[in-house]
Amino acid sequence: MYGTAGKESALITVTSVNVNGLRAAARKGFVQWLAATEADVVCLQEVRAEPHQLPEEAGRPAGWHVVHAPAAAKGRAGVSLYTRREPDRTRIGFGSAEFDGSGRYVEADLPGVTVVSLYLPSGEVGTERQEEKVRFMGEFLAHLKRLRERAAAEGREVLVCGDWNIAHREADLKNWRGNTKKSGFLPEERAWLDQVLDPADGGYVDVVRALHPDTEGPYTWWSYRGRAFDNDSGWRIDHHYATPGLAARALKARVERAASHAERWSDHAPVTVVYGP
């Protein structure tokens, strides 16, 4: 494992955030946030731009090694990884004929850990978008198992960060009763996360929930409609899912919620976790 600015250290800090369009986020405050962050790794989702369309200070900032995975469909999806230390290896896509060009998966091998930035499809009940989400989930669970097994054989841990677009438990969204038939909180989606987090199946750990077992939220996304942010009527859909060895080393986690609605540069907030030796 490594720490701040790529120096050998006992700690590694990882942040994940859906930027809701990196060009817009850059104008609203992302650049200043990135300059101030103490994270060693930053995972971005919903970048929605080709690398050449991004301003230098957002797309290729000084002091960072960056890999962008834009979607083939212009202006859609897109994930990125920013690391202080140059990765040993990077990979775009997870071996899916349907989804490898959709800008939803990028991984990087760093000392002792493989870090993934994931943007799982959002879905909408009764539409092709939901069918796409279900297909993705089926392929992705099989990949998560292979990834965990491969990493274990190499003596590595795995951390999958990103916008999973599913709230797992009732504590993960404010108005859970009104969303039981909506994509993002469907019984079958929640059951799929049960599989991902089952020690005998997917074998991953919800790091933030493990650190905050009895907390409502902490929410990571609030609709721009109405006063959802001001009322903290949100969803916890942005997650750090780690193999058990790494999850056990998580020291603290926080959602970097903006101080006010006007100071937000995305409808999501960064989720930051510090991992120890």
List residues with catalytic annotation.
119, 163, 268
The answer to the question of whether 231 is labelled as a binding residue is no
Strand 89-92 relative to strand 79-83: parallel, antiparallel, unpaired? Answer: unpaired
Buried b (16+ CB within 10 A) or exposed e, 29-49: ebbebbeeeebbbbbbbbbbb
Q: How far apart are CA 155 and CA 160, in angstroms?
A: 17
Contact 183, 123 (CB under 8 A): yes
What is the amino acid identity at position 165? N
Residue 200: strand, helix, or coil: coil
The answer to the question of whether 163 is labelled as a binding residue is yes
CA neighbours within 13 Å on the CB side: how many for 124?
3
Rg (CA), the chain: 17
The answer to the question of whether 175 is labelled as a binding residue is no
Q: At what angle do helices 187-197 and 128-153 cross, to 10 degrees?
A: 0
The answer to the question of whether 20 is labelled as a binding residue is no
What is the amino acid identity at position 9? S
What is the amino acid identity at position 178? G
List the binding residues: 18, 46, 163, 165, 267-268
List the binding residues for Mg(2+): 18, 46, 163, 165, 267-268
